């Protein structure tokens, strides 16, 4: 079953504001991935994290692999209208198969002009 808690479930922000969302788990993860899903499309990989403490950026996006290996966060700076979508965290649990991804339930982001 699902073992990731993603929050918040939804966010409404003004264009230009920064955004932060996170995922936590009671299990230790070996990898953390962040995806974005636009309506009618499949999830697209934004950032992949492979080591505890790793901080990685992709343009205005920054994600970190928590030191405890049980959490990760995603920050979006200076939001723009095209940031609208659903953001998912995902990862592989250290006690499970390296091929099995577990997903969070998603954060629905709305950017108001």
Partner 1 sequence: EAQVTQNPRYLITVTGKKLTVTCSQNMNHEYMSWYRQDPGLGLRQIYYSMNVEVTDKGDVPEGYKVSRKEKRNFPLILESPSPNQTSLYFCASSFNGQPQHFGDGTRLSIL
Q: Which residues bind partner 1 (CB under 8 A)?
A: 1-2, 4, 6, 31, 33, 35, 40-45, 48, 88, 90, 92, 97-106
Closer residue to partner 1, CB minimum distance, 85 or 104:
104
CA distances from 110 to 17, 80, 85 (A): 12, 10, 7
Closer residue to partner 1, CB minimum distance, 37 or 62:
37
CA distances from 113 to 15, 68, 82, 104 (A): 5, 37, 11, 28
Closer residue to partner 1, CB minimum distance, 17 or 57:
57
């Amino acid at each position: 079953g699902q073992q990731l808690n993603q929050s918040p479930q939804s966010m409404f922000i003004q264009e230009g504001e920064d955004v932060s969302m996170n995922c936590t788990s009671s299990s230790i993860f070996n990898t953390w991935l962040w995806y974005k899903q636009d309506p009618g499309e499949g999830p697209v990989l934004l950032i992949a994290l492979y080591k505890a403490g790793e901080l990685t950026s992709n343009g205005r996006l920054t994600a970190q692999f928590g030191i405890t290996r049980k959490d990760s966060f995603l920050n979006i700076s200076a939001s723009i209208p095209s940031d609208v979508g659903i953001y998912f965290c995902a990862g592989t649990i250290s006690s499970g198969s390296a091929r099995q991804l577990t997903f969070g339930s998603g954060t629905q982001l709305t950017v108001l002009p």
